[in-house]
Amino acid sequence: MNVKKIINNPAISRTIFYPRKVPIPSNLESNIKPFDLKIGSNIIIGGYFFLNDNTLPSILLFHGNGEVALEYSYFAPMFFNCGVNLAVADFRGYGHSNDQPSYTSLIDDAVLIYKKFQNWLDSGSYNPKTFVFGRSLGSICAAEIGSKELDHLRGIIFESGFASTYNLIKHFGIDIPTLTPDLISPYSNDTRIRKFHYPTLIIHGTSDFIIPTSEGELIYKNLPNDVEKQLILIEGATHNNIITFKEEYFEPLKKFIHKYM
């Protein structure tokens, strides 16, 4: 059975991806720097670097399925208060990235994006220390990166993320009778999370009905016991308003950044 073909089938892609093409604006503020990361002969991943101070570490954020990197221009100042720069990478087919997204492209592209972003930081003489942040669907990228040995990676942050790909597919009502947890395990976040050795912060809302709180708890449970890990559950927060709980969201994030930077 070709599990990769099954997980990339249109029924799943139509459910989990909402790509939007957004060109680079001509009137960006001076501290917002677009980037293009060439990760293959024909694949360009676009995104934006929101500069706070070039001596500070950066968060490399992988966003949710209905978002684009440019939208984080609104949230960047909140992240600045944590003592970081913020970089947000789009998926294939989002923003000014080319090609089309698929579930396995999120896995295949993640480490390449991280390495190319490190090259981009180096070319601009920025601090290379990096925290990888996976929100919602972006947790796939964060899980893949966190499972590898990579230079300058200081820690992993999951926000409203999931552990089990099988649970995610079932939760969204996609019925593929031949697909079992064991078959899909090579493509599941929890398989990668068990390989972590980086400090990890998990933030999840207790009223998240898109990706249930139990998935955040599963991320925590699947992390190795020798990994420094913390689970922050924000009472009453939903999947899409969690960032508005500013104190509960950003205070733990700030402490995490300052501890491991």
Question: How far apart are alpha carbons 156 and 161 in whole angstroms?
Answer: 12
Confidence of residue 168 (pLDDT cuts 50, 70, 90): confident
The yes-or-no verdict on residue 260 having pLDDT over 70 is yes
Q: Are 82 and 42 in contact (CB under 8 A)?
A: no
- Cut 0.95: pTM above it: yes
Q: Which residues contact 17 (CB under 8 A, 6 or more apart)?
A: 65, 91, 93, 101
Q: How many CB atoms lie within 10 A of CB 185?
A: 14
Render pLDDT for 170-222 as a digit per residue (tens, 0 to 9). 888 887 888 888 999 999 999 999 999 999 999 999 999 999 999 999 999 99
Closest by CA position to 146, among listed 202, 188, 192, 103: 192
Strands 44-50 and 58-62: unpaired
Structure tokens at 130: 């990096």
User: 207: burial class by Cβ within 10 Å (0-12, 13-18, 19+)?
Assistant: middle
Domains of the chain: total: 1
pLDDT reported for residue 100 = 94
What are the residues facing 62 on neighbouring strands? 89, 134
Instruction: Provide the domain limits for residue 173.
Output: 3-260
Average pLDDT, the chain: 96
User: 1 falls in which pLDDT band (50, 70, 90)?
Assistant: low
Q: What is the pLDDT of residue 74?
A: 97
Select the more confidently predicted residue: 164 or 10: 164
- Closest of 61, 53, 67, 54 to residue 19, by C-alpha: 67
Question: Coil, strand or helix: which one is 204?
Answer: strand
Three-state DSSP state, 162: coil
Residue 77 is predicted with a pLDDT of 98
Range 56-83 average pLDDT: 98
The torsion angles phi and psi of 130, rounded to 5 degrees, stand at: -140, 135
Q: Is the pLDDT of residue 155 over 90?
A: yes
Position 34 scores a pLDDT of 98
Tell me which amino acid residue 256 is: F
124 has a pLDDT exceeding 70? yes
Give residue-wise pLDDT tens across range 3-41: 888 889 887 888 899 999 999 999 999 999 999 999 999
Report helix, strand or coil for 75.
coil
Q: For residue 65, give the CATH number of its domain.
A: 3.40.50.1820
SS3 206: coil
State the amino acid at position 112 in one-letter form.
Answer: L
